[in-house]
Amino acid sequence: MSYIFLQNYWWFLIALLGGLLVFLMFVQGANLHLGNRTLSDLQKRMILNATGRKWELTFTTLVTFGGAFFASFPLFYSTSFGGAYWVWVLILITFVFQAVSYEFQHKKENLIGSQAFRVFLMINGILAPLLIGTAVGTFFTGSDFTVNKVAITDPAAPVISTWGNGWHGLEALVNYHALLLGCSLMFLTAVLGALYILRTIDDSKIQEEMRRTVKMTLAPFLLFFLAWLVMLLLRTGYAVDEAGVITLEKFKYLHNFLQMPAVLVMFLVGVVLVLRGFILGAFTKSRHGIWPAGIGTVLVVMAVFFIAGYNSTAYYPSATDLQSSLTIRNSSSSPFTLQVMFWVSFLIPFVVAYIAYAWRQMDRKKITPDEIADTKHKY
Amino acid sequence: MTAAYHWLFVPLTLGLALVMAIMETIYVVKKDEFWKKTAQFWVKLFAINFAVGIATGIILEFEFGTNWSNYSWFVGDMFGAPLAIEGILAFFMEATFFAVMFFGWDKVSRRFHLASTWLTGIGASISAYWILVANGWMQNPVGTTFNPDTVRSEMASAQAFWEVISNPVAVSKFFHAITSGWVTGGVFVVGVSCWYLLKKRQRKFAKASILIGSLVGIVGSFAVMLSGDSSGVHAAEFQPMKLAAAEGLQDGGKRAAFTIVPGIKIPGMLSILSTHDIDGFVPGINDILNGYTDNDGNVVPSVAEKMQRGRAALDALAQYRALKDSDPAAAAEARAVLDENVQYMGYGHLEKPEDVIPPVGVVFWAFRFMIGLGMLMLLELIVVGWLAWKDKLADKKWLLIAALCCIPLVYICGQAGWVVAEVGRQPWTIQGLLPVNVAISSLSAGAVKTTFFVFLAIFTLFLVIEIRILIGAIKKGPETPNE
């Protein structure tokens, strides 16, 4: 196996994990609906228990996504996490609160009241997709950092990757192209959440509310997403040549779509599936919108990662120092490590299989008001 | 700090997982509802603790990137693989089967539920193994070579990978951590059960729990001692400074004495413990500073010399990178100098030889607390377990109170162990290769302090809430009949 193949393979897996992560963020999206004022407390509790059975999987996927990035492209890990510091720390804080909010929420000894934990879940529901989406948005706009490997020999300033400004990543929130992607992702996860609730909870009022939400979110989602897409296709991108030299190329991302027709098809199929899921949820009686929308989400996100990294493109460009930009080639682990992990990655289907089995066993019964009222094993 | 907090929650997870898996197994074998209710009670406490363990764990993972940027590049090639394997193999196992265990009592078959309980615990243990592979490598960086073209340590062959994952330091750390988790779980279960006896509630439940808890704890204690012994030997071999600090040993020698507390020593004991030979040479702090000859006859250079060679390595690295395209011959020369001195590269970042000495007082006393409390725990478990077996425990009020008091003590014991391992290896993040002050991200001190205190506040809040909820759940008690 060649080094190049392994690097591409791992970029593929990162893209796949990213896609799955965004899909699984239906948990975050569903928790947003805890703020729906027309729902009763019992109904909110049903939503809480619906996401309560899945949140660990989203969380674990996030951790694995981080771990896989660390393992396969450590220079990204050290540059982006150490540099765009505040963005990542904020994302983590919202997830930390989420992790305890289920278990603590309905315990009377929780000090700060159930409502507080419900608010934590909603903050996570807004900020996690918004910030993660914006962070991925900078894959196309570039960031303010430099990479200098010789720095480690200088005792006075030994850090290899340095960030150019004191905002440490928060500046991306005023980078409107990146922010458009963040907002699109927020609307998307809100809809995925609604579709998931539709499928899992037997309660006519909740069903009606969720269908209404999907209907209302369709327009803003399309608006933000299309605006982001058009700007992407028109913007100048970061190309890398055989020798690893980075140059600016006009319409780089449009070229990437055209030069990789398979990715273009994947992207379009994904978009169609997402829309089909929206329509099933908003305008029909079907409860299965989550499946096309979920699969579509995975395909679209993967295509976005492919556009960012394949076809001689720098996936984490530095707007400050062009040659510091990270590419799949210059930021990866050694051939041997990638190879070890190549073999390890064959365990993934096995993992997916047992998760699917466990879910089937658990989800045979839908969540009903009676169940939430009766069972002791709930959040 | 995050790691220390994480380590507050993890041992109970590891220990309780085993206790409840055993109880549920008894339930499935005997089909006695009593055991199901007993197991369910401990699962409830497990779940409360598990959530906080997860919350602190995720921060830990990403902190490598956010606060230890240089470190994560330098070790990414070696560290990433275990972490990714941990994610794929262990985290999903824990997360999936935890959900089944918690929600699935009435939804899945008895056997599938039992399997889930075991798999949750096994998942947690596998996860501990892989993370300790990474930690073990930091204490004893085997199997990797420094690559000047990429400026990091890399693994190059299957043999190297095997060396990394079978690193003796990692293996003994793993057993030490897992089995100390069993002790924590055992002491916790026994302590809580004794509280019920004090309150004259739930006697049957309490006795059953004490028997299983003390058994798990006793087995754990002996295993902790065995693995602790080999940890000591490894420290002597790979991190002599840590051992010297833990012993407060200024000047070493053959037949080195083991200090129980200052002033009370057992002659020759330290040599036996750390080299398994009474005539083994144990270097003290001054020996390490000034250089010495080890038990295999190798001359270990003084720290000053190591620093000199480390600087030579760093200079050669800079030179190599500057010349490699323009003047290959000179670059090759620089590379040769680098290769010769690379094992001391980290020393090149030190300012003075004394920088290699960790805070001796802290490590010395932490070590004594760890061992002393560990012994006390074992004694407590044996006595309480035996009396419970003989049905003579319920009226020994002082002993019940003592068992309850052991719960905080076992945590102090575990934290002391963490201090020995992690403070004792200062100033290194990676032994000999990367000192702490070079491993960092380029962030202002203010930013780091802010995050530190934010997380400190958050985790402390969680800890307080967790303890309150645990106490609430314990007061409410299990659903077993009150007899």
| Local confidence band at A8 (pLDDT 50, 70, 90 cut-offs) | very high
CA atoms within 13 Å, Cβ hemisphere of B173 = 26
| Local confidence band at B128 (pLDDT 50, 70, 90 cut-offs) | confident
Two tokens, residue B250: 């200024």
Q: Of A312-321, B214-223, B249-258, B452-461, which gets the smallest average pLDDT?
A: B249-258
Does A356 reach chain B within 8 Å, measured CB to CB?
no
**Which chain B residues touch A96 with a CB distance below 8 Å?**
55-56, 58-59, 458
Please give the Cα distance from B136 to A130 (Å, whole number).
37
Pick the residue with more confidence: B148 or B378? B378
Pick the residue with more confidence: B156 or B165? B165
Q: Is B2 a residue whose pLDDT tops 60? A: no
Confidence at residue B256, expressed as pLDDT on a 0 to 100 scale: 80
pLDDT per residue as tens digits for the range B41-69: 888 888 888 878 777 777 776 776 666 76
Q: Is B141 a residue whose pLDDT tops 80? A: no
Please give the Cα distance from B440 to A365 (Å, whole number).
50
Confidence at residue B1, expressed as pLDDT on a 0 to 100 scale: 53
Confidence at residue A196, expressed as pLDDT on a 0 to 100 scale: 94
Confirm if B335 and B322 have CB atoms less than 8 A apart.
Answer: no
What is the torsion angle, in degrees rounded to the nearest 10, for the CA atoms of residue B354, residue B360, residue B362 and residue B363?
Answer: 110
The ipTM assigned to this model is 0.83
Q: Is B351 a residue whose pLDDT tops 90? A: no
Please give the Cα distance from A139 to A318 (Å, whole number).
9
Q: Per-residue pLDDT averaged across B153-162, rounded?
A: 76
Confirm if A140 and A235 have CB atoms less than 8 A apart.
Answer: yes
Strands (DSSP E) contained in A108-149 are 145-147
Please give the Cα distance from A255 to A271 (Å, whole number).
19
Q: Is A105 a residue whose pLDDT tops 70? A: yes
pLDDT per residue as tens digits for the range B391-428: 887 788 888 888 888 888 888 888 888 888 888 877 78
Closest C-alpha among A311, A218, A302 to residue A266: A302
DSSP-based three-state secondary structure for A142: coil
pLDDT per residue as tens digits for the range A13-25: 999 999 999 999 9
Asked whether the beta carbons of residue B156 and residue A334 sit closer than 8 angstroms, the reply is yes
| Local confidence band at A279 (pLDDT 50, 70, 90 cut-offs) | very high
Distances B414 to B10, B144, B402, B444, B457 between C-alpha atoms, Å:
10, 31, 18, 33, 22
Q: Which range in A83-97, A188-202, B239-253, B445-459 is most confidently predicted, on average pLDDT?
A: A188-202
Q: If you average pLDDT over every residue of chain B, what do you get? A: 81
Q: Is B40 a residue whose pLDDT tops 60? A: yes
Confirm if B100 and B113 have CB atoms less than 8 A apart.
Answer: yes
Q: Of A150-159, B204-213, B379-388, which gets the smallest average pLDDT?
A: A150-159
pLDDT per residue as tens digits for the range B269-285: 888 888 888 888 888 88
Confidence at residue A240, expressed as pLDDT on a 0 to 100 scale: 92
Residue found by looking up tokens 């044996």 in the block: B382
Confidence at residue A208, expressed as pLDDT on a 0 to 100 scale: 92
Q: Of A263-277, B157-171, B376-390, which gets the smallest average pLDDT?
A: B157-171
Element (H, E) at A239: strand A237-240
pLDDT per residue as tens digits for the range A112-143: 888 888 999 999 999 999 999 999 999 999 88
Q: Which of residues 344-373 of B touch A (CB under 8 A)?
A: 348-349
Q: If you average pLDDT over every residue of chain A, what do you get? A: 89
Chain B interface test: which of A80, A109, A360 (most B C-beta within 10 Å): A109
Asked whether the beta carbons of residue B70 and residue A160 sit closer than 8 angstroms, the reply is yes
Q: Which pairs with CB-CB distance under 8 Å and at least 24 residues apart come from A270-274?
A: A270/A295, A270/A296, A270/A297, A270/A298, A270/A299, A270/A300, A270/A301, A270/A302, A270/A303, A271/A296, A271/A300, A272/A296, A273/A299, A274/A188, A274/A300
Does B198 reach chain A within 8 Å, measured CB to CB?
no
Chain B interface test: which of A144, A150, A153, A336 (most B C-beta within 10 Å): A153
Residue B449 CB-density burial (10 A; 0-12 exposed, 13-18 middle, 19+ buried)? exposed
Confidence at residue B11, expressed as pLDDT on a 0 to 100 scale: 67
Q: Per-residue pLDDT averaged across B99-123, rounded?
A: 84
Q: Is A30 a residue whose pLDDT tops 90? A: yes
* Residue B146, phi then psi, degrees to nearest 5: -80, 130
Q: Of A92-106, A122-136, A224-238, B328-342, which gets the smallest average pLDDT?
A: B328-342
pLDDT per residue as tens digits for the range B298-309: 888 888 888 888
| Shortest Cα–Cα distance, B449 to chain A (Å) | 13
| Local confidence band at B250 (pLDDT 50, 70, 90 cut-offs) | confident
Q: Per-residue pLDDT averaged across B78-82, rounded?
A: 74
Confidence at residue B4, expressed as pLDDT on a 0 to 100 scale: 60
Please give the Cα distance from B42 to B385 (Å, whole number).
18
Confidence at residue A264, expressed as pLDDT on a 0 to 100 scale: 97
**Which chain A residues touch B86 with a CB distance below 8 Å?**
67
Q: Which range in B11-15, B34-38, B86-90 is most confidently predicted, on average pLDDT?
A: B34-38
